[in-house]
Every structure is written in C-alpha cells, then in structure tokens.
C-alpha cells in the first residue's frame, strides 16, 4: 500500500543526495577500495570528532558494537549486566552472547532506564550497566555514571538511536567506556545495509574492537590475537556514511522542527502523552517520535485508513518471546509501554504538510472518541 505519509522514505532520501553518494561509491569502486581503506579511516575520524571522543571503530552492526564492547570490557560467563526491558532485542542478545546474564530493569516515564531502580539490581556479580538512549534521547547519565562509579561498574552505552543527542551538553557515546551506534538504514545516520561503530576514549578498547572485527588479526603484523569475527564496516558503506555525516546537523534540526510541530498540533489531547521531557537537560534528536495512548491500536488503524504509516516498538515484552529464554521480570512501565506506544512518521524526508495531515487525523480521532464517550 502506498501511504500518503510513509513512516520513512529511503527512495526520496537517496534521490536528494544522489550526486554526492554516487560520487563516493564510484570513487571507491573505481579505485578498488573495498576493504579497510582510507574511506573507513576518514569516516571513523569524522565520527569520533562528532561524538567528542578519541576513537571510533567501524563495525558491521550496532549489535556487534555492543557485543565487542562487552567482550573488550572483559565481560563473560558468571557476570551480570544490567540493562532495560524496553529496548531492541539486540541490546540483550549482545549480553547473552558473552555468556553473561542480562538483568532487565524498568524504564521511567521518558522510556529510558530509570536510575532509581538501578542500585537495587546490583549484585556481587554485576560487572556492567548498559543504558539505552532510546528514541534519540540520552538517559540521565549524571545519575547512572555516579552509581556505576560508586559500584565500580563498566558503562556501555547503547546509543544506537541517539547519534547527536546530548545530556547536559555532552553527546551520547561519550559518557561510558564505549558508545555503540547503529547505521541500520532507518537510523538517523543510515547506510545502505547494516553498519555500526564503537566510540571510546580508551586506546586499548579501541584496539581490541579493531582486532575483533577483523578475525582477531593485526593487519600490520599478520598476528591473530583472538578468535575474532568477520564484522568490519564495509569501505563503501563508510564512504557513504561519511557523506551523510556532513548532513546530520541539518537532519537533526529538521527532526526537532517536526517534533515541535507535532507538539503544537497535538498538545492538550487527554489520553495522548507526547515525548517532551526534560528540555533543560536533554537535547533530543528524535530518532523516533513516540506518543503514548491507551487507544493505541484504534488510533493506529485510523491513521492507516487515512494513509499514515506508523510503527509499534515493541508490541510484546521481550521475555514473552519464549525462544529468548529470558527470566520473567516484573517491569510494569515496560509492560504498559508495549500496549500504548506508537511511533509517528519522522525522517529527514517527512514534510511539514505530512505532519499537519498526521496531526489533523489524530485530532479527529480523539474528538470523535470524546464525542462518543460524552454525547
Ligand atoms: C536500541 C538499539 N540497540 C541496538 C540496535 C542494534 O543495531 P543493529 O540493528 O545495527 O544491529 C538497535 C537497532 O535497531 C537499536 O535500536
């Protein structure tokens, strides 16, 4: 079905950047620069300086960025790593694949790790905390870093959705031992396939991640230092991402403008919570604009009928997927979010007219419901 307001629009996105992207790809292909070349290094150094850290290491997914970070921090069997229940499954799988146990805690009203619950989840086995900066909003890193320091825990930031977002002026990916980014096509900085990166100020961690992604091999000496993985960020992807990184500040501004328009168009509707929280401490990049309502499913259907594509992340708690074999925690906020969240269209290509149409459809839906309930 062709939507009047698609959730994202990768075709138009490419057309807009076509000349720059085609030139970058042609340059790689014509020089034969396919694996581990200058374009990768250039992108890594641009990314590190954008995030405000010393090193960035390109890998082939956000998942691998998380997994390698934990491995480089020495996390393994017998350890516990605390993260949230309301996240993409890859955050938790990255922990499981080290042999450590994921300990899931609840999120707060802002959909991010609730720092009030963190200390109670720490046990003598806890080695690390993985805050997830969901939807383009950084967690309260002041509190989380203070608790981690007090208990001598490693912090691995899942910043897959938060490139460019800040907390108290500092960018996501610059707080913990590492920051982990995803360049999945529909992320704010999206490639033409999977991609990711680890950011860090620690030279040993940067080196270990560089080796792990390349089968454990030191390219200078040919020595294999570990049983590693085939998980390098492709050179052509890096060249494309480097082009796109230069546009990121405009796209962040565009997303913030869309968020403002949603807010103006939707403020004041009872039973519709909008995602505007601490604007004095957070600078959000709105990877997703997630509203919350008890009438989520009916609203989604109404929007679909009116040509507006939406997304639900995620409709059932992770531990209810039996194949993941996770212990069932008691996380009431996470469970409610599964019933109530709805992500509205938001991308570099979403137009102001599309936002106006979406907001109008949402208003119509709620006024119809209100009239029906209060005849
Ligand atoms: C919060 C979060 N963590 C981790 C990931 C994993 O990233 P990737 O899909 O690049 O492996 C994603 C991507 O969807 C994500 O949204």
User: 194 in ligand 1 pocket by Cβ < 6 Å?
Assistant: yes
pLDDT of residue 375: 67
Enter the tokens of residue 168: 């108290």
Whether ligand 1 lies within 6 angstroms of the CB of 284 is answered as no
- Of ligand 1's atoms, which has the minimum distance to the CA of residue 134? 1
Is residue 160 within 6 Å of ligand 1 at its C-beta?
yes
**Contact 157 CB / ligand 1 (< 6 Å):** no
List the alpha helices (DSSP H) in the chain: 10-31, 38-51, 62-72, 89-96, 141-150, 203-212, 235-245, 248-266, 296-305, 332-340, 352-373
Measured from the CB, is residue 161 less than 6 Å from ligand 1? yes
pLDDT, residue 279, reads: 86
- Give tens-digit pLDDT for 258-313: 999 999 999 999 999 999 998 899 999 999 999 999 999 999 999 999 999 999 99
Predicted local distance difference test score (pLDDT) of residue 374: 74
Answer whether 114 contacts ligand 1 (Cβ < 6 A).
Answer: no
pTM of this prediction exceeds 0.85: yes
Give me the pLDDT at residue 25, please: 98
What pLDDT score does 2 carry? 86
Q: How far is the CA of 213 from the centre of ligand 1 (A)?
A: 17
- 181 pocket-lining for ligand 1 (C-beta < 6 Å): no
Ligand 1 atom, smallest distance to 158 CA: 3
User: Cis peptide before 98, with omega less than 30 degrees from 0?
Assistant: no
pLDDT of residue 369: 84
Q: What is the pLDDT of residue 370?
A: 76
- Determine the distance separating the centroid of ligand 1 and the alpha carbon of 61, expressed in angstroms: 8
Closest to 361 in 3D by CA, of 283, 304, 282 = 304
So what's the pLDDT on residue 368?
A: 87
Locate 261 and state its tokens: 């328009």
In whole angstroms, what is the distance from residue 343 CA to residue 288 CA?
A: 6
Supply the pLDDT for residue 3. Answer: 93
Q: Please write the tens of the pLDDT for every residue from 226-259.
A: 999 999 999 999 999 999 999 999 999 999 999 9
- Ligand 1 atom with the smallest distance to the CA of 94 is 4
Which residues of the chain register pLDDT less than 50? none
- Centroid of ligand 1 to alpha carbon of 375 (angstroms): 46
In ligand 1, the atom with minimum distance to the C-alpha of 133 is 1
Angle at alpha carbon of residue 7, lines to 287 and 179, rounded to 5°: 20
CB 85 within 8 A of CB 331: yes
Mean confidence (pLDDT) of the chain:
97
């Amino acid at each position: 079905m062709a939507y009047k307001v698609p959730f994202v629009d990768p075709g138009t996105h490419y057309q807009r950047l076509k000349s720059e992207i085609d030139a970058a790809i042609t340059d790689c292909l014509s020089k034969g620069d396919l694996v581990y070349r200058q374009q990768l290094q250039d992108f890594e150094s641009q990314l590190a300086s954008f995030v405000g850290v010393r090193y960035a290491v390109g890998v082939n997914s956000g998942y691998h960025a998380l997994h390698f970070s934990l491995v480089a921090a020495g996390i393994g069997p017998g350890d516990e790593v605390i993260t949230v229940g309301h996240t993409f499954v890859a955050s938790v799988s990255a922990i499981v694949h080290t042999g450590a146990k994921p300990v899931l805690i609840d999120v707060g009203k802002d959909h991010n790790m609730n720092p009030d619950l963190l200390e109670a989840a720490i046990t003598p086995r806890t080695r690390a905390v993985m805050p997830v900066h969901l939807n383009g909003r950084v967690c309260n890193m002041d509190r989380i870093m203070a608790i981690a320091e007090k208990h001598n825990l490693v912090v691995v930031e899942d910043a897959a959705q938060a490139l460019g977002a800040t907390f108290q002026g500092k960018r996501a990916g610059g707080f913990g031992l590492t920051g982990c980014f995803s360049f999945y096509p529909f992320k704010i900085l999206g490639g033409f396939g999977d991609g990711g990166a680890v950011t860090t100020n620690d030279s040993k961690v940067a080196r270990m991640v560089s080796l792990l992604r390349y089968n454990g091999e030191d390219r200078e000496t040919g020595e294999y230092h570990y049983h590693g993985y085939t998980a390098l960020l492709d050179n052509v992807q890096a060249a494309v991402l480097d082009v796109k990184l230069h546009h990121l500040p405009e796209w962040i501004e565009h997303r913030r403008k869309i968020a403002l328009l949603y807010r103006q168009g939707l403020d004041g509707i009872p039973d519709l919570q909008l995602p505007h929280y601490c604007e004095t401490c957070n600078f959000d990049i709105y990877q997703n604009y997630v509203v919350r309502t008890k009438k989520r499913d009916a609203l989604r259907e109404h929007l679909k009928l009116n040509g507006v594509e939406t997304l639900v992340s995620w409709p059932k708690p992770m531990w209810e997927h039996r194949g993941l074999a996770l212990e069932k925690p008691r996380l009431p906020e996470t469970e409610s979010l599964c019933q109530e969240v709805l992500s509205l269209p938001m991308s570099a290509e979403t137009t102001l007219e599309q936002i106006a149409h979406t907001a109008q459809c949402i208003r119509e839906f709620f006024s119809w419901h209100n009239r029906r309930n209060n005849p």
